[in-house]
Structure 1
Amino acid sequence: MSRFLHLALCMAAALALASCGSGKADDEVDVAFIGSSTELFEPGLRLAPAGQHIRSATAEGLVSLNQSGEVVPALAERWIVTEDGLSYIFRLRNTDWADGIPLTSNSVRDALRRNIQELRGTSLGLDLAKVEEIRAMTGRVVEIRLDGPMPEFLQLLAQPELGLRRNRQGTGPMTLSRERDTALLAPLPPETRGLPVDEDWESRVRTVRVQALPAEQAVAAFDNRAVDAVFGGTLTSLPLADTGALSRGTVRLDAALGLLGLQVVGERGLLATESGREALAMAIDRQSLLQPFNIGGWIPTTRVVAPDLPGDPKIIGERWNGLSLELRQAEAARRVAAVAGTDRAARTLSIAMPPGPGSDLLFRELSEDLAAVGVVLERASESAPADLVLVDRLARYADARWFLNQFHCSLKRGLCSPEADEAVRRAMQASDPAATAAMLAEAEARLTAANVYIPIGAPIRWSLVRGGVDGFSENNWGLHPLFPLALRPI
């Protein structure tokens, strides 16, 4: 499923420097997220990446993700899945909530129901729509029943937003204290979490200090050895990683799964018809679009759903096979001229992109491609509505339904396809895997034909991790648990 290879950006001399450590005391590790400090302490369920990582560190769900992105036990010490794939039965750890109240199947059921209720109206809420019932069976057994099979359900259940809390407090594996705009995360002893006693625990763990900084400051802090790792890098900030920081650590790229493309939010002129919107999609040279970023192995796509997902029926393929870029752009130019003629205003479109050097590079490349077919692209101002919006989003699980749910009409993110939504709804009701896959392929075909989203490829996620820092591993989800960083290197 990998979209690109890891960059080999460290030379032997740099690694030797990194292995010497930062010179700080070994009783803490410092992490900077690219973002704002308010994201670290968000109390609700609409979480930015920094908030997701804090939540997963302080509020375990029934299951969680380890540093490699694999589902592992959390509040549930084990589970079984019935043969029909409709029932997930979890055996809970023998532990307490943060306030000392015993963690029971009833309290876990209620906490999970609250989370699902609060997530209604979000794309994650759509993903959870297959949950039919949550039952407390005995003191420490919870059953979740689905209305249809969902092979990726455990992956969905491991998302940070499904971490369980009582009175806004989770069960760990870490405790959170705040020091101005810095989050201090201390690992909880295993016996307080219903796990066997570890006599050497205090000598094996350390505090993780987390702050959120603008991208330039985060990279500078890493380069100055003020932090040991930087998380949350995207395409927008990727050029900043190619600085002096590389002499003191490594750039690590996740083989991320998700969306990188343009969502159509305006509906005027060229964007008013499927044919006009397709002209924009045809004009983009995806093979060379990201060349200025020097990302080896990145694979572009014209599909809404990422290619080669598990269970992909191979019904939908890449678009415009057999047409060269020149022929595609010639057809796109013909359509643009037919709609806009020589009217510059009718040929001008605005795009909303986050600020950053990566956005500047991407805007330049997109502008050149669209200029080749007669379209003028401008950066949208914050005070004016845009015609196009850059989508840069990580997948929660490896299934076509996640991709299709991102454009559901109920989310009101831009133009949409009710026909595609209806096909997804029918797919959810199908019990036969082949029928489900066929209906999801139909939904993708309808969304593709509507041209409300212009795919580019997989999203880019990068981190800076100093040599000698253990507990980090690249994965498809761009989630890097903070708890493993608290374990001292052996």
Structure 2
Amino acid sequence: MIAAACPPLFRRLAGSCVALGMVLALAGCSGGDDGSFDVVFMEDEAVLTDSGVRLSPGAQHVRAATRAGLVAINAQGEVVPALADRWNVIENGSIFVFRLRDGTWPNGEELTAPSVRDALQRAIRSLRGTSLGLDLVPVDEVRAMAGRVVEVRLASPMPDLLQVLGQPELGLVHGEGETGPMVLERDGENILLTMRPPAERGLPDSEDWRDYVREVRVTGLEPAQAIERFDDGDVEVVLGGRLGSLPLADLGPLSRGTVRLDPAIGLFGLRARRERGALATPELREALAMAIDRPALASAFNVGGWVPSTRVVAPDLPADPGMVAERWQGSSVEDLRRVAAGRLAGLTGQDKRLTLAIGDAPGEQLLLRELARQFATVGITLVQARSSEGADMVLVDRVARYASPRWFLNQFNCILDDGLCSLEADRLASRALDERDSALRARLMGEAEAALTRANVYIPFGPPLRWSLVRGEVDGFAPNLWAFHPLPDMAVIPR
């Protein structure tokens, strides 16, 4: 069993247990002696350098390494300085004031408040129509002030603004060239990332700085190939492990590495796409949710420490008012399935057949088989959809960007047109944005979650599973809530 060494991290947002995962064996030798550091992402290499705003996890890591925002996210998942070296919050949280570091843009122009303001406005505009764009709705104005100061003014409270501004998609550009701590070049088929001089990273200069950084070679491979290269000692870190690739971790001896599980929060469950058959009404969709034995899902993957949930919003978030509890507490799976079967009994023929858009990776197919077995107990046939376009349901497997109910609710906003939704939930969440009183705002968010729960457009399982392979001698890696592991942190050699 891959057992969580600190299971409470799945249950509450506290602590800093670094090795949340079972150590499979002791660390071995490094993957090379040429001073480079090799990282493999378990995804298609072609998407790692995408230039758009809908980035894969690997592309987010590369973007964060090569393009800086006002702030950044470090290895522990905390907000740290980037283009802004300090900031403060005034006017009861309605104004965030950022003081820019000394320096220039890559094209040689001075890093000024007006140029940063314009770059941030462009980045925000580019995200319109995405869930991250919805997260930024409270941003009312970006102002350039005297003395290299930029102000972000909010129309409504946004306690998580810094976390959002630290996302890779909010990296800023001005003219040609990138602004991040690392420079991207091509090394044959690989991506080669090299650290910029300290002064270009907003740090004090040092003559021997090159002795304390290393190049990072990045590539993308199929999970089985990535694991094989790690097992052979060719790479130090493999990132991007998900549910689909988790069973592969047991295929090889992995004799010189460790599996690290992130205590991630986010969405892991089924999203209804169409109102038909067993998905025609909220009551029928609830029956499907009642048929799920969530602990059995974890057992199928032999994962310890994973805590299932029936809530749309992750439990125990800092702003959670405690209004929405876990569903069906005190009822056995057998009792719930009897009720569910009764509701679904009137369906016949094709109405009892559902298609699910899900990948072909081993873990995804294992999940499909387990879900099909469980749905069969209430008379529903579940099969894999040939395409996501015509599927009745889709698997949602997404890590949160910040720890607020608002992120979860935004993923189901009707504006995104990404499946069934709740206009009532959207209305309540919108009202919450305009509310200055924190207690009332939290209550409205709780009411929005309750409305989305009643609509039964999403069947939650629990938090998403994210894992990595990391050699024991690697510094700069830490499991965190966002399953985000900055490459510059791993490129630094401790003094």
TM-score range for the pair, normalised by the shorter chain length:
over 0.9
Letter in 1 for 2:246: L
Which residue pairs with 1:392 in the alignment? 397
- Give, in whole Å, the separation in 2 of the partners of 1:10 and 1:455: 29
- Give, in whole Å, the separation in 2 of the partners of 1:169 and 1:330: 62
Contact 1:352 1:379 in 2 (8 A): yes
Cα offset, 1:19, TM superposition: 3.9
Cα offset, 1:245, TM superposition: 4.9
Letter in 2 for 1:413: D
The 1:404/1:142 distance shift into structure 2, 3 A limit, reads same
**Deviation larger for 244-253 or 256-265:** 244-253
Q: Does 1:100 align with 2:108?
A: yes
Residues 66-103 of structure 1 show CA distances to partners (whole Å, capped at 9, x for unaligned) of 10001111111100101410000000000111111111
Cα offset, 1:41, TM superposition: 1.1
SS at match of 1:260: strand
Letter in 2 for 1:91: R
Cα offset, 1:155, TM superposition: 0.8
- Give, in whole Å, the separation in 2 of the partners of 1:481 and 1:407: 28
- Give, in whole Å, the separation in 1 of the partners of 2:176 and 2:132: 20
Cα offset, 1:20, TM superposition: 3.0
Contact 1:7 1:296 in 2 (8 A): no
Q: Please, which of 19, 23, 38 is the counterpart of residue 10 of structure 1?
A: 23
Residues 132-185 of structure 1 show CA distances to partners (whole Å, capped at 9, x for unaligned) of 100000141000001122211111111111011123632220011123442110
- Give, in whole Å, the separation in 2 of the partners of 1:144 and 1:324: 50
- Give, in whole Å, the separation in 2 of the partners of 1:162 and 1:414: 26
Q: Please, which of 298, 305, 309 is the counterpart of residue 290 of structure 1?
A: 298
- Give, in whole Å, the separation in 1 of the partners of 2:442 and 2:317: 11
Which residue pairs with 1:440 in the alignment? 445
1:110-125 aligned at under 5 Å gives the runs: 110-125=118-133
Contact 2:181 2:200 in 1 (8 A): no
The 1:7/1:293 distance shift into structure 2, 3 A limit, reads farther
Letter in 2 for 1:264: A
1:8-407 aligned at under 5 Å gives the runs: 8-10=21-23, 14-15=25-26, 18-22=27-31, 24-167=32-175, 169-338=177-346, 340=347, 343-382=348-387, 385-407=390-412
SS at match of 1:154: helix
Q: Figure out how many residues of one structure are paired with residues of the other and give that number.
A: 482
Residues 259-295 of structure 1 show CA distances to partners (whole Å, capped at 9, x for unaligned) of 0000000211111111111110000001221112121
Cα offset, 1:38, TM superposition: 2.0
The 1:419/1:8 distance shift into structure 2, 3 A limit, reads closer
Which residue pairs with 2:4 in the alignment? none
- Give, in whole Å, the separation in 2 of the partners of 1:33 and 1:138: 43
Letter in 2 for 1:289: L
Residues 408-467 of structure 1 show CA distances to partners (whole Å, capped at 9, x for unaligned) of 011111011111111111000000001111111111011000000111100000000112
The 1:168/1:453 distance shift into structure 2, 3 A limit, reads farther
Contact 1:300 1:457 in 2 (8 A): yes
- Give, in whole Å, the separation in 1 of the partners of 2:236 and 2:253: 11
Query: Which structure 2 segments of 5+ residues have no match?
Result: 1-7, 12-16
Cα offset, 1:26, TM superposition: 4.7
Which residue pairs with 1:487 in the alignment? 492
Contact 2:359 2:365 in 1 (8 A): no
**Deviation larger for 298-307 or 41-50:** 41-50
1:415-434 aligned at under 5 Å gives the runs: 415-434=420-439
Give the fraction of aligned pairs with identical amino acids, expressed as a percent: 54
- Give, in whole Å, the separation in 2 of the partners of 1:168 and 1:237: 38
CA RMSD of aligned residues (A): 1.5
Residues 216-243 of structure 1 show CA distances to partners (whole Å, capped at 9, x for unaligned) of 1111111122211110110111111123
Query: Which structure 1 segments of 5+ residues have no match?
Result: none
Contact 1:106 1:139 in 2 (8 A): no
- Give, in whole Å, the separation in 2 of the partners of 1:9 and 1:401: 33
What is the TM-score when the length of structure 2 is the normalising length? 0.95
Runs of 4+ off more than 4 Å:
4-8
Cα offset, 1:363, TM superposition: 1.0
Contact 2:106 2:176 in 1 (8 A): no
Contact 2:38 2:236 in 1 (8 A): yes
Which residue pairs with 2:3 in the alignment? none
Which residue pairs with 1:455 in the alignment? 460
The 1:168/1:398 distance shift into structure 2, 3 A limit, reads farther
- Give, in whole Å, the separation in 1 of the partners of 2:58 and 2:421: 29
Letter in 2 for 1:319: R
